Chains A and B, each alone.
Chain A
């Protein structure tokens, strides 16, 4: 339910916003905030949550209208947004698929075609096994995989997408052949975990945020062998060792951020990156973020752009190992 915010509040916040920044840009019409997917997924949650926080906290004068443009794992939305060159009133939610999809499938656009605005939060990959499994740490599992390449590792997404890349990258870092991972794609992380509990696969790779509910459950049937962060995570995942701690030099970020159309005016970019920075500092956001199990990981436009380039290098390396790199792109 969208409500109009009191004018006084609006005035006050826009003052703090512009203070110190030489940005003259303010949206002059409602901002289309696009989730390149169906309602309900990660992008959609990001778009709806952040526009709600921006609205309720009165951070912007104009409305942020959440719009779903699903199709092709994002490709449909990207091709539409790529045409809005220089448009300062379009934003979209983004995460690793903006790099992975163009590398493996036929999206004509990749992250270089858009303007990075800000990275907002991140999640990490985790490897789970059944509670009664013999594998005590990640090295046990990796050794077993080396011995038996048929050992099945389930994940929630298709081969060549996030879960698979996270696992293949881990295997690669441990000196195994990335393409030897017997990755079994399920229809989602939840589906994969259910199959792990039923003993149908040996291990599952999924997002830590998605797994936390399962792990913290007292009579839980699954446990985590490691996380892909460089420092230990907080909360109920606090006693799960990182891969680096266990001697596998490997980190993997499942980041989420915001991008805009090609050649977005610079003052607009500045305005939005500051807006999102401010949004991350509100209590309202903290509340929502904790509910979703996300971890703040803000980066401004420039930094985010460099980060994206390094991610692209890393992913195309792993995809190359797997033989999944699309030759044409």
Chain B
């Protein structure tokens, strides 16, 4: 562990963010017509407020619950790399991003069913038939309600539904 505590590290990150935000705020152009308070005032006030608050956070003592649990970390190290808690978060995030990108080419039904079935297997559920039935059932029900009854257009994709 470094000599900085959790709050101090967070404070530094927030301070950097507020400086970047302020730089952005100073680039907001003035409006052609005179305004008593132009578009740049609120961003500037907020940027400085966050800077001050991060200073205060730097000085605040971290509470116990803010420090990540060391036991849990040791325990997770025993799991295979792909099944460790953080790996699960990262892989889920990647799956969501992939879903977003494939939604329109593959279509709603196929992409959603793939995501649901795939992640369920990955999270450790082994009864594939139930998995497929529930996932496909929910997705199809949603798709049909939306497109047929609610007139909301969802990407049909490659499936001929």
Contacts and interface: CB of A to CB of B under 8 A. Distances in A.
Given A1-B151, A66-B151, A179-B33, 14 more contacts: A1-B148, A1-B149, A2-B151, A48-B151, A65-B153, A66-B153, A67-B153, A159-B31, A159-B33, A322-B32, A323-B32, A323-B33, A324-B32, A324-B33
A47 to B, nearest CB: 11
The 3 A-B residue pairs with the shortest CB-CB distance in the complex, in nearest-first order = A323-B32, A67-B153, A65-B153
Contacts of A48: 151
A65 B32 CA distance: 41
B148 A2 contact: yes
B55 to A, nearest CB: 35
B33 to A, nearest CB: 6
Nearest to A324: B32
B84 to A, nearest CB: 38
Contacts of B33: 159, 179, 322-324
Contacts, number: 19
A51 B151 CA distance: 11
A137 B31 CA distance: 32
Interface in A29-50: 48
B108 to A, nearest CB: 13
Interface string A1-42: 110000000000000000000000000000000000000000
Contacts of B153: 65-67
Nearest to B32: A323
Interface in A283-329: 322-324
B42 to A, nearest CB: 16
Contacts of B151: 1-2, 48, 66
A169 to B, nearest CB: 15
Interface string B135-161: 000000000000011010100000000
Interface in A152-189: 159, 179
Interface string B30-55: 01110000000000000000000000
Contacts of B31: 159
B110 to A, nearest CB: 19
A65 B153 CA distance: 7
Contacts of B149: 1
User: Which of B32, B148, B149 neighbours the largest number of chain A CB atoms within 10 Å of its CB?
Assistant: B32
A284 B149 CA distance: 21
A229 to B, nearest CB: 28
12 contacts: A1-B148, A1-B151, A48-B151, A65-B153, A66-B151, A66-B153, A67-B153, A179-B33, A322-B33, A323-B32, A323-B33, A324-B32
Contacts of A2: 148, 151
Interface string B104-130: 000000000000000000000000000
Nearest to A51: B151
A315 to B, nearest CB: 15
Contacts of A159: 31, 33
